Amino acid sequence: MPVPLKAGEVLRGRYKINRIIGQGGMGSIYLADDLRLEGRLCALKEVENDRSVPEDLLKEAREQFFREATVLARLDHPNLPKVSDYFSIGNRDYLVMDYVPGKDLRTMMMEARQANTFLTEDDVLTWASQLADALTYLHSQDPPILHRDIKPSNLKVTPSGLVKLVDFGLVKFLAPGEVTVTILQGQGTALYTPLEQYGGDGGHTDVRSDIYAFGATLYHLLTNKAPADARERFLNPDSFVLPRSINPNISPRTERAILWAMGLHPSERPESVEQFRQSLLGDHPTIPAPYNRQITLRDALRLPPERSMAWVSLGLVLLSLVLTLLK
């Protein structure tokens, strides 16, 4: 793990480190004072590049970081933090964003659980509507942008009630031919990650990958219980517990929409965030017939050839991961 910066350090003669507000295996997120704009707080996301990577690959990765940071800096949406700057120091890259005050939804969910209650469905659906706005905006960019790490802890509610989708760490740009890289390499958080994302950057992900994570996030917020991850569901379909069996106060409509979003294969999910939003909130739900059955490997092999091959490919990726863990 990279050695964290110390409080009081100043980067680029402008950003004075206040404290760490988040930490991961490849770097930290810092709260910093902007010395050029008095009173402004910002969040600095740090990524330390692997020192063992050959120099030419490091140069290529850094060039890509700057290209993609430039795209992120052009984004402007009320439910996304504004990216204002980016730079590199040594083998570390930095992305500067607006600091978002408030609580993240994981914290709010944990508080509800400690009080032996659930977040209300009305509140969760209000937040879901705002998240849908943010994702629709990202997916409508040219090329489309995937977030790839949607989860409760990456959703913050400001004191005014505005939801912000934070942490662009795994953003993926759907360039022609699926040549994609992220500002921070990774495959997302396992509990909310669809099967196709386990293949790494070579895996075929699209907007439906974000929709899976969206559905898994709503599942967790409404039940106080994380869903079984996609690998476990594929290997053991009985591991998936229906949301209403945990929290009977969830409406049947909301449960059906969540189950649709969490289809194991992308073709079993809504085709767009807007379609998912309509299934949750619209006047006329567009959910296909009961979506609570889990596809097994035997089922996958009975599918039409094009879908069967996709499932087999996912299964092989999963099997290789299991074998690696057993070594």
pLDDT in tens, 169-197: 545 544 443 333 333 334 457 789 898 88
The mean predicted confidence, pLDDT, of the chain is 82
CATH number of the structural domain spanning residue 123: 1.10.510.10
Task: Judge whether residue 305 has pLDDT over 80.
Answer: no
Per the domain annotation, does 272 fall within a domain?
A: yes
pLDDT at 181: 33
**Residue 82 vs residue 198, higher pLDDT:** 82
Per the domain annotation, does 4 fall within a domain?
A: no
Catalytic option among 93, 149, 167, 210:
149
Domain total in the chain: 2
> For every residue of the chain, which 3-state class applies, written as one string?
CCCCCCCCCEECCCEEEEEEEEEECCEEEEEEEECCCCCCEEEEEEEECCCCCCHHHHHHHHHHHHHHHHHHHHCCCCCCCCEEEEEEECCEEEEEEECCCCEEHHHHHHHHHHCCCCCCHHHHHHHHHHHHHHHHHHHCCCCCEECCCCCHHHEEECCCCCEEECCCCCCEECCHHHCCCECCCCCCCHHHCCHHHHHHHHCCCCHHHHHHHHHHHHHHHHHCCCCCCHHHHHHCHHHCCCHHHHCCCCCHHHHHHHHHHCCCCHHHCCCCHHHHHHHHHCCCCCCCCCCCCCCCHHHHHCCCHHHHHHHHHHHHHHHHHHHHHHC
Same domain, 287 and 209: yes
pLDDT at 287: 53
CATH number of the structural domain spanning residue 75: 3.30.200.20
Q: How does residue 248 score in pLDDT terms, banded at 50, 70 and 90?
A: very high
Domain boundary residue among 98, 119, 151?
A: 98
Ranked by mean pLDDT, which of 15-24, 166-175, 197-206, 281-290 comes out on top?
Answer: 15-24
User: How far is the C-alpha of 243 from the C-alpha of 249, rounded, in Å?
Assistant: 10
Per the domain annotation, does 3 fall within a domain?
A: no
Ranked by mean pLDDT, which of 7-16, 163-172, 316-325 comes out on top?
Answer: 7-16
pLDDT at 1: 61
Per the domain annotation, does 280 fall within a domain?
A: yes
Same domain, 148 and 164: yes
- Listed range (3-12, 98-107, 140-149, 317-326) with the worst mean pLDDT: 317-326
Same domain, 83 and 145: no
Same domain, 85 and 141: no
pLDDT at 270: 96
Ranked by mean pLDDT, which of 23-37, 100-114, 159-173 comes out on top?
Answer: 100-114
Per the domain annotation, does 139 fall within a domain?
A: yes
Task: Judge whether residue 18 has pLDDT over 80.
Answer: yes
pLDDT at 60: 80
Same domain, 300 and 191: yes
Per the domain annotation, does 1 fall within a domain?
A: no
Indicate the pairing of strand 163-165 with strand 10-11.
unpaired
pLDDT at 303: 47
Same domain, 257 and 274: yes
Mean pLDDT confidence for 195-215: 81
- Known catalytic residue at 133: no
Per the domain annotation, does 2 fall within a domain?
A: no
Q: How many CB atoms lie within 10 A of CB 175?
A: 11
Per the domain annotation, does 146 fall within a domain?
A: yes
Same domain, 83 and 107: no
Same domain, 213 and 303: yes
Domain boundary residue among 78, 98, 118?
A: 98
pLDDT at 177: 38
Task: Judge whether residue 323 has pLDDT over 70.
Answer: no
Ranked by mean pLDDT, which of 6-20, 144-158, 195-209 comes out on top?
Answer: 6-20
Same domain, 16 and 147: no
Full domain range(s) for residue 234: 103-326
Same domain, 84 and 128: no
**Residue 236 vs residue 69, higher pLDDT:** 236
Q: Does this model's pTM top 0.85?
A: no
Domain boundary residue among 68, 98, 128?
A: 98
Same domain, 121 and 83: no
Same domain, 110 and 75: no
